[in-house]
A and B are shown apart, each in its own frame.
Chain A
Amino acid sequence: MNFYHYASPSTFYHLAGKVIPWAAWTAAILTVVGLYIGFFVAPTDFQQGEAYRIIFIHVPAAWMGMLIYLAMAFWGAIGLAFNARLPFLMMRALVPTGAMFTFVALWTGAAWGKPMWGAWWVWDARLTSTLILLFLYIGTVALWSAIDDVKRSDRAGALLTLIGVINVPIIYFSVIWWNTLHQGSTVSFTHAPKMATTMLQGMMIMTLAAWAYAIAVALVRVRRLILERERKTEWVNEILSEGS
């Protein structure tokens, strides 16, 4: 199979159109199954009561927030290395979803922290590094929106994400060490009780749902971006006149 075939915006536009319904339905079905397991099947936690059920949304969101940043850096690097247009569009299409998941992770984390820790926000290592990740997303969007020239904006965003992705592990570990130095350990994650199997299953299904959702939404967005960028070409005009 020739991957370069799909590097052309017009062929990728049609491929994406075929994948979207599959990804969207997978996301919808898995979300329903995962939430059902999470809220009705999984047992109540003996320590945290019902409040722990937020993890079925919180943990997948936090994972996706980090993973999408890596995916952005990947597409940015591909775009710079092969000097292609499409990878940059993939990168742009991923950002809003990544920022959304990171925000959801922070929000649900705060909602969980209030009953568990008695505070909406503590300067825990994970919370802090997730907040910094959100800052990195915001910085990328800010850079894009400040540059009018499309080509420069694509490349500048990719380079910024590359520095960001090298820094992410350094930031993560520095924040962990900072945390252990400054705070008497209030909550220990390393000695967390083992999770019940159904809880783990529910969480994994929700993670897969988050994956499928991210793919579907990113592809919808990348199709819009392709149409916008290629609006002067013939095949886009054909599609647009068919649609109207």
Chain B
Amino acid sequence: MGHFFWSVLLRDLTLAGRRRSDWLIAVFFFVMVSSLFPLGVGPEPELLKRIGPGVLWVAATLASLLSLSRLFEDDHRDGSLEQMVLSPASTVQLVLGKAAAHWLVYGIPLLLIAPVLGIQFNLPSDAIVVLVVSLLMGTPILSLLGAAGAALTLGLRGGGVLLTLLILPLYIPALIFGAGAVDGVMAGTGAEAHLSLLGAFLLVSLLVAPWIAAASLRVSLE
């Protein structure tokens, strides 16, 4: 039954490959939001080092939300989403495939650009490694929970802003554990505790979010 998951994933990756501007916009958004903070709070290296992990994590959260509002939107508009939900294939797999594609297209580029931004914020190299690891474990959570939010707000007016309002409070644990891991390394207490909790939160999201998102899709398409 994993077949459907893979075909959704490949299809969404192909579509994303044909519209490169979409994910480039998300990456530039991440870079720009992060670069605004030094301009806002001042260029002192110690201060930037202190706020860096939090700023980068908040910016990554917002960048991921920016693209999530369109997760189901295009397929909904041309009617293919309805066909996929109506088909006998599992809607949970559809959601998982979509979320995985979203993570690969929008999450991975953030991971790759994050070290550069970490250097801008004067983070030490071991903190940068942990930042990338925490984003690696944290961004799938954003895609999974966001998929549930995108399914709930499908086709609504002002859907994007509404999605932000619904999903940001749910992202808070990921933000705390993710930024906390980087802070932990810099404070000398180690990152293992925060990363373990982040991993646990990822597993919980993986267990719960696809089912809620599938149920929400069915409700939204009725």
Which A residues have a C-beta under 8 Å from some C-beta of B?
80, 132, 135-136, 138-139, 142-143, 146-147, 151-152, 155-156, 159-160, 162-164, 166-167, 170-171, 174-175, 177-178, 181
Q: Contact: A171 with B173, CB < 8 Å?
A: yes
- B side interface size, CB within 8 A: 32
Does B137 sit within 8 A of A, measured CB to CB? no
Looking at the complex, which one of B158, B159, B176 makes contact with A174 (CB distance below 8 Å)?
A: B176
Interface-centre pick from B159, B176, B184, B215 (highest chain A CB count, 10 A): B176
Q: Contact: A166 with B153, CB < 8 Å?
A: no
- Which residues of A lie under 8 Å from residue B173 when comparing CB positions? 167, 170-171, 174
Q: Contact: A164 with B152, CB < 8 Å?
A: no
Q: Given known contacts A156-B216, A174-B197, A181-B183, is B148 in contact with A163 (CB within 8 Å)? A: yes
Looking at the complex, which one of B152, B183, B184, B197 makes contact with A143 (CB distance below 8 Å)?
A: B152
Does B42 sit within 8 A of A, measured CB to CB? no
Q: Contact: B162 with A143, CB < 8 Å?
A: yes
Stretch of B7-15, B125-133, B201-209 at the chain-chain interface: B201-209
Q: Contact: B169 with A147, CB < 8 Å?
A: no
The CA of A160 and the CA of B150, in the complex, are separated in Å by 11
Does B119 sit within 8 A of A, measured CB to CB? no
Q: Contact: A171 with B172, CB < 8 Å?
A: yes
Does B177 sit within 8 A of A, measured CB to CB? yes
- Which residues of A lie under 8 Å from residue B47 when comparing CB positions? none
Q: Given known contacts A136-B169, A143-B166, A159-B215, is B176 in contact with A166 (CB within 8 Å)? A: no
**A142 nearest CB neighbor, chain B only:** B165
Known: A164-B169, A177-B176. 19 other contacts (CB 8 A): A135-B165, A138-B165, A142-B162, A146-B153, A146-B156, A152-B219, A156-B219, A159-B216, A162-B212, A163-B170, A164-B170, A166-B204, A167-B173, A171-B170, A174-B172, A174-B197, A177-B180, A178-B176, A181-B183
Q: Contact: B165 with A159, CB < 8 Å?
A: no
The CA of A188 and the CA of B209, in the complex, are separated in Å by 36
Q: Contact: A170 with B169, CB < 8 Å?
A: no
The CA of A163 and the CA of B146, in the complex, are separated in Å by 11
Looking at the complex, which one of A143, A155, A170 makes contact with B201 (CB distance below 8 Å)?
A: A170
A156 to chain B, nearest CB (A): 5
- Which residues of B lie under 8 Å from residue A166 when comparing CB positions? 204, 208
Per-residue interface assignment for chain B, residues 147 to 164, with 1 indicating a CB less than 8 Å from any chain A CB and 0 otherwise: 010001100111100100
- Which residues of A lie under 8 Å from residue B177 when comparing CB positions? 174
Does B44 sit within 8 A of A, measured CB to CB? no
Report 24 cross-chain contacts, Cβ distance below 8 Å, ordered by A residue: A80-B215, A132-B172, A138-B165, A139-B169, A142-B165, A143-B153, A143-B162, A143-B166, A146-B156, A152-B222, A155-B219, A156-B152, A159-B148, A159-B152, A159-B219, A163-B148, A170-B201, A174-B173, A174-B176, A175-B172, A175-B176, A177-B197, A181-B183, A181-B184
**B216 nearest CB neighbor, chain A only:** A159
Q: Contact: A178 with B180, CB < 8 Å?
A: yes
A217 to chain B, nearest CB (A): 25
Q: Given known contacts A152-B220, A156-B152, is B176 in contact with A163 (CB within 8 Å)? A: no
